[in-house]
Amino acid sequence: MSKICVIGTGYVGLVTGTCFADLGNSVTCLDVDETRISKLLKGIMPIYEPGLQEIVERNVKAGRLIFTTDYVKAVKDAEIAFIAVGTPSGVDGEADLQYVRQAAESIADLVDSKIIVVNKSTVPVGTGDWVAEVIQKRRNGRPLDLNVVSNPEFLREGSAINDFMQSDRVVLGSENRTAAEKVAELYAPLRCPVLITDLRTAEMIKYASNAFLATRISFINEIANVCEELGADVKVVAQGMGLDKRIGSAFLDAGLGWGGSCFPKDVKALAHMAVLHGTHPQLLQAVMEINRNQRRRLVYKLRKALGGLNDRTIGVLGISFKPNTDDIREAPALEVIHLLENEGAKIKAYDPQAMENAAQILQKVKLCDNPYQVAEGSDALILITEWNEFKQIDFNKIKELMNQPVIMDGRNLWDEKTLKNMGFQYFGVGRATKP
């Protein structure tokens, strides 16, 4: 059993800390956000993540999981400190490392015993070395037995607990193999492959993985647009491709493109790193451009179908960047809503979990309590996030409530034939139905 501290209790830190506690470790989760910690102390989850509440409660009760804003309490006696703070996009797309720096400096100020600092945040290649430098500089000659390990995180919001407990792999990078092996011991109960590398390679594995997944989505979206023009069905094309074992079927769903707190900033940051070091990331640039275009294309189709967007009422189903999360950071819905509002459309919207977050930034949008309220008086309904709740909608009721029965199925969720037979004008993505 190791004494662990997790710095940052967001989607990654909270899930990581809770899961390590569930594996029998003593974990202190630390955050500078007092509201977040006071919620956790009352047993209220600050994020929506399926299954999280129960496992937090179990470990708090067992005394293995503590929440605090007190750095001294959290890091002073920790053997292993995970940094899981945000690394948002900064100027020119480079990762903003101010929170990582703050965490590193706090460790430098408070720790005197041997410590392994594990970086879980997604950070530019070379940051592990930089963290060690920041700490040593801050110590100003006071000795510290320090090792830095990079342990990039691959969990997905919405299935984070499962992704942690059944990881495909754990990647650990360090210049000190013993330190990496000590961290590997924490993961031993998971019985998953552990890849130990040097620091920079581990950091690059994270960026390369996210960029590759984003590339697959942009690839299928480009194919979808060609399908749409040539009369092929991209859903079946993807199915046919995916049956090839060399290709596989994951991340081949055509739609409105990728968003969220990771892909946009990570692809941008990788492209920025590439340019900074004199290479030309042509593929990454195209992957980002295709993604932006996917939202514009939907707006174009809608404008054509409705003969203009000014003063039209558009209903939006789904605001979170993907189902099963309340996270709306860089969600496709925000960009689509922005583009529609720019053309004078009025927006009504509903999301099963993201309404609280949406209310903070979508000032002009009428936020509704359910899909039927959204449909009422709408000239078109756009499906943006494929929540389960939207799979079984009563389309008879929807049709009665709408001003015009126009549906833009941005995720190819619904059955085209059924909706057309019911009298809807239906547009999917890459399915040959043109306005």
What residues have CB less than 8 Å from 100, skipping those under 6 apart? Answer: 83, 85, 87, 119, 121, 123, 127, 131
Binding residues for substrate, by number, are 154-157, 206, 251-255, 259, 322
Binding residues, by number, are 31, 36, 87, 122, 154-157, 206, 251-255, 259, 265, 322, 329
Query: Which DSSP symbol is given to 257?
Result: -
Please select the residue that binds ligand NAD; options are 4, 5, 6, 12, rule is CB under 6 A. 12
Query: Which DSSP symbol is given to 44?
Result: -
Least distance to ligand NAD, CB of residue 98, Å: 8
Asked if 74 contacts 9 with a C-beta cutoff of 8 angstroms, the reply is: no
Least distance to ligand NAD, CB of residue 9, Å: 5
* Separation between Cα atoms, residue 266 and residue 160, nearest integer Å: 19
Asked if 123 contacts 100 with a C-beta cutoff of 8 angstroms, the reply is: yes
Least distance to ligand NAD, CB of residue 319, Å: 17
What residues have CB less than 8 Å from 246, skipping those under 6 apart? Answer: none
State which residue, 13 or 410, has the beta carbon closest to ligand NAD.
13
Please select the residue that binds ligand NAD; options are 4, 7, 317, 408, rule is CB under 6 A. 7
Identify the three-state secondary structure at position 170.
Answer: strand
List of E strands, 221-344 = 313-317
Structure tokens at 158: 């919405």
Contacts with ligand NAD, 138-167, as mask; x by CB under 6 A: ---------------x-x-x----------
Please select the residue that binds ligand NAD; options are 21, 27, 29, 31, rule is CB under 6 A. 31
Asked if 380 contacts 404 with a C-beta cutoff of 8 angstroms, the reply is: yes
User: With left for phi above 0 and alpha for psi between -120 and 50, is residue 318 left, alpha or beta?
Assistant: left
Out of 29, 227, 262, 368, the active site residue is: 262
Residue 103 interacts with ligand NAD (CB under 6 A)? Answer: yes
State which residue, 331 or 365, has the beta carbon closest to ligand NAD.
331
Residue 80 interacts with ligand NAD (CB under 6 A)? Answer: no
Residue 294 interacts with ligand NAD (CB under 6 A)? Answer: no
Question: Looking at 8-16, 172-180, 291-299, 351-359, which segment touches ligand NAD (CB under 6 A)?
Answer: 8-16
Least distance to ligand NAD, CB of residue 110, Å: 12
Please select the residue that binds ligand NAD; options are 3, 33, 169, 370, rule is CB under 6 A. 33
Residue 124 interacts with ligand NAD (CB under 6 A)? Answer: no
Cα-based torsion angle of the residue sequence 214, 216, 222, 223 in order, rounded to the nearest 10 degrees:
-160
Report which residue's Cβ sits closest to ligand NAD: 10
| Phi, psi values for residue 197, rounded to 5° | -135, -170
Q: Is 166 exposed, middle or buried (0-12, 13-18, 19+ CB in 10 A)?
A: exposed
Contacts with ligand NAD, 226-265, as mask; x by CB under 6 A: -----------------------------------xx---
Asked if 135 contacts 104 with a C-beta cutoff of 8 angstroms, the reply is: yes
Least distance to ligand NAD, CB of residue 344, Å: 34
Residue 211 interacts with ligand NAD (CB under 6 A)? Answer: no
What residues have CB less than 8 Å from 273, skipping those under 6 apart? Answer: 94, 124, 125, 207
> Does residue 262 have an active-site annotation?
yes
Residue 30 interacts with ligand NAD (CB under 6 A)? Answer: yes
Interface ranges with ligand NAD (CB under 6 A): 7-13, 30-33, 36, 84-87, 99, 102-103, 121-122, 153, 155, 157, 261-262
The catalytic residues are: 262
